[in-house]
Chains A and B, each alone.
Chain A
C-alpha cells in the first residue's frame, strides 16, 4: 500500500505550500469540503467539525494596502469606517419662517487587524512512514476549522460584551440587549421556550432599534426545538417532512423570513441562547488583509506545518446584536 504522505517524507517540494494553501481556500469556499470529508474514510473520526459561522453573519471582504488607514501613534494598519449620522427630523412651519441651523458630524469607528495562527504542527517524518491516511488532508481540514472557530469565539466574546447583563440596560447601545425570562417566568414575553409567540417577540427586538433581522444564530440543539412545532404551526406537509428529515426538512433554514445559522459549537453558543444580528451593512465590517496561508517546512527530519490569516473585524453599530436566553434566570 502506498503511503499518502510520501511527498512529505521523501521529496518535499516547496510548491506544496501553495498547493495546500490553495486547497484550504477552496475548502473555505465550499468547493472541496466533500473531498475533505471523504478523507475520513482513511481513519476513524472522533467528533464532528464545522466551518465558521461568523463568516455567514458578516461576510468577509478582502482589503488591499491602499484601503488601509494610518494613525500617528503607531505603524500598525487600521481601517477607519464612516457611520451614518443622525439628526433632528423635519419640522412644520408657517410661511416666511426659516428652519433652525443644525451642525452635523459623521461618526467614525476603527477596525484594527490581528493575526490568527494555528499551532505549529511538528512531526518527525519517520513517524509518518507508518501513517495510512493523508496527513495533509487532516491538517488542512483542521487548520481551517480551528482558524474559523477562533473567529467565531472572537465574535461571541464581542457579542457578550456588547449585550451586557440580562434584562439590564447596560448594553453598549445604552438599552437592554440581553433578554432572559425571569426565574418565575412571570411578566416575560420570552418565557415558554421557543414557542411561536416567543419567536415573534424575539423578532421584534432588533426592530426596536429600527433594524431588520439579518441572521439568527443558535446551536443545533436549540434549533431542534423547531421539530416540536406541530401541524397547526407548520402545516401537515412541513410537519411530516421534518418528522422524517429533521431540520433538513425545513430546507433553507429561513424561519419567519429570517435566515438562521445553526452551529454545533455549543461551547460558544449555549443551549437555548439565540443571537440576533441585523443585516451586515448595518452591523459592521469584516476585512481579510491576508487570507489563510499554510506554511509547510521540512528541516532535516522535522516537518512543521502551520497556517495563519490576518483579519480585522468589528461590530460598529452596537445596537445591531441582541441576545435571547430562553432559559429562565
Chain B
C-alpha cells in the first residue's frame, strides 16, 4: 500500500495571540523540568510547579498556573530537560486546545483549572467557573475572549489548522486571581 496523508497531532499546539515576545526577557516565561513524563504534558496544557519545582498537570488552589508552550517529548525539551511555559500571572491572550468540552465559554467567562481530583484525563484543562464561587473557593486563571470556543476548521474551504486533527480551541486572556479562601 502506498502512503497517504501526513503527520498530524491530535490537537493544536498553543498559539499566543497577544503578549508573546519570544525569547525576550520581558515575556513572563518559566522553564522547569517535567515531574513525570507519564503526565504527558502537551503544548497548551494548564500546568503548575509542585513542591520540587517541577511541572505537573493542573494547578492546585494558590499555585501559579502556567500554560505549557511545548510538549513533554519535544526534542528541545528532552535535550535541555526543561519545558517552557507562560505564566498566567502575566498578560497574554492565548489559544489552547486544553479545555473542558462540556464547559460554557461566553465572552468574559471566568476560567479555572479542572480540579486535581477529577478524572486524570481532564486534569490540565481549563474549565468555566461560576462568578459566585470564583473569587472565593477557586483560582481564576483568566477570562474567555473572542467568543471563547472556536473551531478553526469549521468554515468552508481549506482547513486553517492543518497540523492537527482537531481545530477546536479556547481563546482566553490570562489573569490569575488566587482564591480568597485557603
Contact = CB atoms under 8 A, between A and B. Distances in A.
Nearest to B156: A208
B126 to A, nearest CB: 19
Given A101-B20, A103-B13, A154 B160 contact: no
A154 B3 contact: no
A112 interface: yes
Interface in B154-173: 156-163
Interface in A70-122: 81, 83, 85-88, 100-103, 105, 107-112
B16 A103 contact: yes
Q: Chain A contact residues (Cβ within 8 angstroms of B): what range? A: 35 or more
A162 interface: yes
Contacts of B17: 100-102
Given A108-B7, A109-B6, A85 B18 contact: no
A103 B1 contact: no
A101 B8 contact: no
A214 interface: no
Contacts of A100: 17-18, 93
Contacts of B162: 83, 85-86, 107
A83 B6 contact: yes
B4 to A, nearest CB: 5
A210 interface: yes
Given A85-B163, A107-B163, A316 B13 contact: no
Given A209-B158, A210-B158, A158 B1 contact: yes
Given A102-B15, A103-B15, A316 B158 contact: no
Contact of A314 (B3, B15, B158, B159): B3
A223 B161 CA distance: 38
A77 B157 CA distance: 35
A109 B158 contact: no
Contacts of A210: 157-158
A292 interface: no
B2 A107 contact: no
A154 B156 CA distance: 31
Given A101-B15, A101-B17, A103-B13, A86 B3 contact: no
28 contacts: A86-B159, A86-B160, A100-B18, A101-B20, A102-B15, A102-B17, A103-B14, A103-B15, A107-B6, A107-B8, A107-B162, A107-B163, A108-B7, A109-B7, A110-B6, A110-B7, A112-B3, A154-B1, A154-B2, A172-B4, A208-B156, A312-B2, A312-B3, A314-B2, A315-B3, A315-B4, A316-B4, A318-B5
Interface of A: 81, 83, 85-88, 100-103, 105, 107-112, 154-155, 157-158, 161-162, 172, 174, 208-210, 284, 312-316, 318
Interface of B: 1-8, 13-18, 20, 93, 152-153, 156-163
